[in-house]
Amino acid sequence: MPSYNPPLRDMQFVLHEVLQVTDEFKVMPPHAEIDADTINAVLEEGGKFAAEVTFPLNISGDTEGCVLDKSSHEVRTPKGFKEAYAQYVEGGWAALSCDPEYGGQGLPFVVNQCFYEMQNSANQAWTMYPGLSHGAYEALHAHGTPEQKRLYLPKLTSGEWTGTMCLTEPHCGTDLGLLRTKAEPQADGSYKITGNKIFISAGEHDMTANIVHLVLARLPDAPQGSKGISLFAVPKFKVNADGSLGERNPIYCGGLEHKMGIHGNATAQMVIDGAVGTLVGEPNKGLAAMFVMMNAARLGVGNQSLGLTEVAYQNALAYAKDRIQMRSLTGTKAKDKPADPIIVHPDVRKMLLTARAYAEGGRAMACFCAVLLDKELHHPDEKVRKESAELVALLTPIVKAFITDNAWTATTACQQVFGGHGYIKEWGMEQFVRDARINMIYEGTNTIQSLDLLGRKILGNNGASLKKFGKLVAQLVEAEGVNEKMAEFINPLAYLGDQMTKFTTEIGFKGFQNPDEVGAAAVDYLRVAGHLVFAYFFARMASVSLQKIAAGSTDPFYQAKLQTARFYFAKLFPETASLMRTARAGSKVLMDTDAVFA
């Protein structure tokens, strides 16, 4: 059986020593009184919930899966899921970072981010039930009417109800401009929604009394394409004016998808047969409202893969220390045993260090983005709010695509550490691999994220957002450039920072002449950008570690951090050179291939 230990020490390092979040919070009125002890106490309890409540249900939930009663359209979740969710609600975890006006605890979003990383390590399938509710909450909080907020937000905040996002249809995925679901206005101001949605995570379950579906649909006079999409709140059970539940709304699960992974989460085919809904935001501007939820989901998917990377690493490390096979190439290490532990072998260490580096780099970037969201929402300076929003928009596709790609690499590497046992279910590794694979696809495939980054977030504003992140890199390089002990971390970061401007300009110029050039370069470009961000944070983490050691700390944590950073820059970061070369190879070898596909 696998095990899980919440990485509290590394979270505390990132939050308090690298990002210094409490200093950031002091200028934000809602969070000014929050101190490190409070954050640490919350995360310690959150870690216990993950390790003791949801993690033991991970393998059993995957084995059992969800069951649909086709006569009632009700879905039964795996044994223990409902009871774990009741504990989650009772513990107040759903309300952690929600607005106190609706019953929330008002803690910073970054605390919620770390809590959810631990839940995703413990049990991604279970965590998706409450996780999706946060996106629904954010969309309604930002764009809902006063009546919608009054009816839905307190219940979503408490966790008594959950939420979903209903976008995809059988004939269209990311291209939402093709959707066909219809919304017919009614005399009372409501709408009757009719259509079919697929791949709806947590679309039906037995864990809460009601589910609030946010549904994209078209009004009768809507323009064609994405400019004619509206957003509607469509509850499973209609909600009376006093907040009590009314009759069943005709939005129901017509089937469950039989997936490669995350079996414990109900991925539903939703049939909407004249269900009553209310308009969220303005007519034909639903995509803007839904993007609040979609962007939250994209950061959430990156967080899912961060969690899987961490738990896969922990278990592969424990196995490598225990499993004996062959002798070290440099001579016997375990003289009292017939063979040495496999952790003595260089390539086993490479696989383990790859997973560790991707977990630690991903954690730093994810927490940084969460702090940016806190600043966007609560910083008193409008300029800071705007710049924070711009930076998090730039980094969102990187969080989603780079971390999920890395998790696929990391979980398969950790499975490889187990050898043949990596394919055996009770070790847990094959489940981590299967669950990680889907994260590269949903909430916009990673290619879509790459196009969004290069086409919209960078070339779309002539590199202005990239330059803002470049300033952070330049500031770090200037501060640490004369520190000889930092040279091995700063020099490659500075070099890539300089190259990035030229690289981006070159791809942009070629794309101006032929848009296929952007499509051909985008995936490679995003990975280069991802490494720029990771290199920045590994350099910052190395700097803090060196300062602590220089001040006399003997905590082995700091030496381990430096060794991980050295591995990252030596073995993973050099990928950027080949990526830039393949990105520059252009689109011709891809598009002039009609003979191949004839």
554: Cβ contacts below 8 Å, ≥ 6 apart: none
Confidence tier at 293 by pLDDT (50, 70, 90): confident
Question: Do 103 and 177 fall into the same domain?
Answer: no
Query: Is 244 a domain residue?
Result: yes
Classify residue 565: in a domain, yes or no. Answer: yes
**Are residues 82 and 40 located together in one domain of the fold?**
yes
Q: Are residues 477 and 542 in the same domain?
A: yes
- Is residue 188, in this structure, part of any structural domain at all? yes
- CATH number for the domain spanning 57: value is 1.10.540.10
In a domain, 53, yes or no: yes
The mean pLDDT of 528-555, rounded to a whole number, is 98
Which structural domain, as residue segments, surrounds residue 463?
Answer: 457-591
Contact 133, 118 (CB under 8 A): no
Q: What is the pLDDT of residue 208?
A: 98
Q: How confident is the model at residue 70 (pLDDT cuts 50, 70, 90)?
A: very high
**What confidence category does residue 292 fall into, taking pLDDT thresholds of 50, 70 and 90?**
confident
Whether residue 127 sits in one domain with residue 53: yes
Do residues 116 and 178 share a domain?
A: no
Average the pLDDT over 426-439 and give the result: 97
Q: Which long-range contacts (CB under 8 A, 24 or more apart) does 577-584 make?
A: 579/524, 579/525, 579/527, 579/528, 579/531, 580/499, 580/503, 580/524, 580/528, 582/524, 583/503, 583/507, 583/520, 583/521, 583/524, 583/525, 583/528, 584/503, 584/506, 584/507, 584/521
Please state, in angstroms and rounded to a whole number, the distance separating the CA atoms of residues 141 and 136. Answer: 8
Confidence of residue 362 (pLDDT cuts 50, 70, 90): very high
Q: What is the DSSP letter of 417?
A: H
Provide the mean pLDDT of the chain.
96
Q: How many CB atoms lie within 10 A of CB 132?
A: 25
Q: Which of 430, 443, 480, 517 is catalytic?
A: 443
Model confidence band, residue 297 (pLDDT cutoffs 50, 70, 90): confident
Report how far residue 376's alpha carbon sits from residue 370's, in angstroms, rounded to the nearest whole number.
Answer: 10
pTM value is 0.98
In a domain, 305, yes or no: no
Number of domain units in the chain: 3
Residues 186 and 132 in one domain: no
The predicted structure's pLDDT at residue 210: 98
Verify that 114 and 64 share a domain, yes or no.
yes
Q: Is 282 a catalytic residue?
A: no
Q: Is residue 111 part of a domain?
A: yes
β-strands 161-166, 210-217: how paired? parallel
**Per-residue model confidence (pLDDT) at position 557:** 98
The percent of residues above 90 in pLDDT, for the chain, comes to: 95
> For residue range 202-213, what is the model confidence (pLDDT) as tens digits?
999 999 999 999
> Does residue 176 share a domain with residue 128?
no
Q: What is the mean pLDDT of residues 124-145?
A: 94
What pLDDT is recorded for position 295?
84
Query: Which of these three, 143, 174, 202, is where a domain ends?
Result: 143
Distance (Å) of CA 297 to CA 110, 200, 274, 293: 15, 13, 27, 6
Q: How confident is the model at residue 175 (pLDDT cuts 50, 70, 90)?
A: confident
Domain-terminating residue out of 236, 264, 283: 283
Domain match, 188 and 120 both: no
Task: Kindly report, residue by residue over 228-279, the tens digit of the pLDDT.
Answer: 999 999 999 999 999 999 999 999 999 999 999 999 999 999 999 999 999 9
Answer yes or no: do 182 and 112 share one domain: no
132 shares a domain with 183: no
User: Is 365 a member of any domain?
Assistant: no
Domain CATH code at residue 259:
2.40.110.20
Number of helices followed by number of strands (H, E) in the chain: 18, 11
Q: Which residue has the tokens 């045993």?
A: 337
Host H or E run for residue 491? helix 487-513
Cα 113 vs. chain centroid, distance in angstroms?
9
Residue 337 falls inside a structural domain? no
Cβ atoms of 177 and 168 within 8 Å: the answer is no
Residue 319: partners with Cβ closer than 8 Å, 6 or more residues away = 417, 418, 421, 427
128 by DSSP, 3-state: which? Answer: helix
* Residue closest to 19 by CA, chosen among 120, 114, 96, 105: 114
What pLDDT was estimated at residue 294?
A: 79
Given 264, 283, 302, the domain boundary residue is 283
Instruction: Give the tens place of pLDDT for each residue, 324-343.
Output: 999 999 999 999 999 999 99
User: Are residues 87 and 197 both part of a single domain?
Assistant: no
Whole-number pLDDT of residue 287: 83
